[in-house]
Amino acid sequence: MTTISMTVNGKPVTASVEDRTLLVQFLRETLGLTGTHVGCDTSQCGACLVHVDGVAVKSCTTLAVQADGASVTTIEGLANGDVLHPVQAAFREHHGLQCGFCTPGMIMAAVDMIQRHGAKLDEATIRHELEGNICRCTGYHNIVKAIQAAADQIAGLSQAAE
C-alpha cells in the first residue's frame, strides 16, 4: 500500500491505496465521487475524463499514485454550489445530453478545450477534439452547439472582466 495525498475539487485528501489502483477507482470507490464514469477501461470512450493539474486525462488508464501531490478536478468540482459552470449550463440549455452517461466526460473535455482554444473554437475544431469521447445516444450536433455556446459565453465574460 502507498499513501497518496492530493487536492480533489479543492479539498485535500489522503489515503492508502494499492499501487495498481486506477485514479477512476480511487475517485469513485474511495472518495465516493461517482460522477466520473467507467465506460470502456481502455481509454477509448472518454467517460472517465478528469483534470489533473489543469490537464484533461483519462482516469481509467491513470494510476492514483500518478496523481499524488496533484490537483484533481472532477465533474463534481465544476459547479459553484448551485450555480452551474458555464459548460454545464450550456449542455442543459442546448440539450447536449440524452442518457447522460458520457456527459461528465464530454463536459470535462469541453472545459479543457475552451481553456486551450478560448473563443477560437469552431465546429471543425470541436468535432476533432471530441474524437476521444464517445456518445452512443446523440449525433453530437447538440453537444457541439453547447460547447460553442459555452466558449462564446466564457470569452464574453473574459472580455467584460478586462
Report residue 135 as a C-alpha cell.
456518445
Which residues in the chain land under pLDDT 50? none
Q: What is residue 19's predicted lDDT score, i.e. its pLDDT?
A: 96
pTM (whole model) above 0.75: yes
> Cα–chain-centroid distance for residue 54?
10
Q: What is the pLDDT of residues 77-97, one digit of tens each?
A: 999 999 999 999 999 999 998
DSSP secondary structure letters along 16-66: EE-TT-BHHHIIIIIS--TTS--S-SSSSS-TTEEEETTEEEETTSSBGGG
Is residue 112 within 8 Å of residue 57, measured between CB atoms?
no
| CATH 3.10.20.30 residue spans of the chain | 2-77
User: The domain 86-161 belongs to what CATH superfamily?
Assistant: [2Fe-2S]-binding domain (1.10.150.120)
CATH number of 2-77: 3.10.20.30
Residue 134: other Cβ atoms inside 10 A: 17
